[in-house]
Structure 1
Amino acid sequence: MRQLFIILFFGFSVSISAQEKTPNDSEQGKQIKQSISVFFDGLQTADTLKIQTVCHKEMKLQSIMEKNAIGTLSFETNEEFYKSIATLPKNLKIEERLLSYKIQIDGSMAQVWTPYEFYVNDKLSHIGTNSFTLLLENNVWKIVHIIDTRRKK
């Protein structure tokens, strides 16, 4: 009887903890996803003003280009990034499809991991993972750092 009680208690405890909300499902998680969504909506439409609404003024951008299992790190300033987006040819269609979100939150800091596929004119260009660091500033989650990997599929 005691063993049955322990098994039922353990099963009930696991069931309750499995029903707890994850950071992805929380209200803050939804707000973080919204900031990232605004960023990519602006990227897709080449709207740098829209992008800047969810980016910290001191945002850092880095990329790791992978070829033959060797990574090369590159840096881009905010100004370079915004200029590259603003000067995209009008006939160039870009789309970054985020495959999932893994969100971790500690107070006013969040870390988000998003595997993605990147398309140019509806053709798969490359794949990788984004890692975002965000800061909650004036009730808006602002992107302060992006580092991504890029590799051919």
Structure 2
Amino acid sequence: MKKLFIIPLTFWSFSLLAQSSEEKQVLQVVERVFEAMRASDSTMLKTCFTADAATYTLFTDQEGKPQIKKGSLERFIDAVGQPKEDVWNEPIWNEKVQIDGPLAAVWVDYAFYLNNQFLHCGVDAFQLVKTEEGWKIFHLADTRRKENCVVPEEVKRRME
């Protein structure tokens, strides 16, 4: 009887380990985006995305109306790679990962700093596809706001 219980438990724990490994792989791609931004490395950044990835920013305008702005992956990659004295630093927290076969979604809170100066906060929502080369981002949407930003104290201390 004990053997019958141990066998399903073993398969279940292997399943959890595999899921955890997949989640780690997905999060590594997301973290590489922010590493590339800090390093101004457009080559590294480009490896994180599919060639036809879409980007969007959602925000509330000065009149309080919700807005959506379609971005350009090429312009984003170019902007990251431009020589600059300032460091783009975007710490993230509250990472949530969901995976179903070749599709993954990642939702993270973030704060954007130029060097150590806070500029805005929001949420980044990534959708990734598992390709032969590994996980790649095919859709990125973010929100941006300057008010109601609850940045964890640990993150604030790192940015000082």
Asked if these proteins are the same fold (TM beyond 0.5), I'd say: yes
Deviations 1:17-47 (A, max 9, x none): xxx9599x71100000111111111111111
The answer to whether the 8 A contact 1:62-1:146 is kept is: yes
Instruction: Give the alignment's TM-score, normalised by structure 2.
Output: 0.76
SS of alignment partner, residue 116 of structure 1: strand
Identity of aligned residues (%): 28
Structure 1 residues 98-113: aligned runs within 5 Å: 98-113=92-107
Q: Which amino acid aligns with 2:36?
A: G
Q: CA deviation at 1:77?
A: 1.8
- Aligned counterparts of 2:127 and 2:56: Cα–Cα separation in 1: 12
Deviations 1:33-72 (A, max 9, x none): 1111111111111111001112111110100123465321
2:64 maps to 1:73:
no
- Of 120, 129, 133, the match for 2:114: 120
Moved more, 75-84 or 25-34: 75-84
Larger-gyration structure (1/2): 1
Q: Which residue does the alignment assign to 2:153?
A: none
Deviations 1:115-134 (A, max 9, x none): 11111120111010000000
Q: Judging changes above 3 Å, is the alpha-carbon distance between structure 1 residues 93 and 82 closer, same or farther for their aligned structure 2 residues?
A: same
Gaps of 5+ in 1: 1-19
Q: Which amino acid aligns with 2:29?
A: S
The answer to whether the 8 A contact 1:66-1:149 is kept is: no
Q: Which has the higher helix share?
A: 2
Gaps of 5+ in 2: 1-14, 148-160
Instruction: Give the alignment's TM-score, normalised by structure 1.
Output: 0.79
Q: Which residue does the alignment assign to 2:78?
A: 83
Alignment size in residue pairs: 133
The answer to whether the 8 A contact 1:108-1:136 is kept is: yes
2:83 maps to 1:59:
no
Structure 1 residues 35-46: aligned runs within 5 Å: 35-46=29-40
Q: Judging changes above 3 Å, is the alpha-carbon distance between structure 1 residues 22 and 60 closer, same or farther for their aligned structure 2 residues?
A: farther
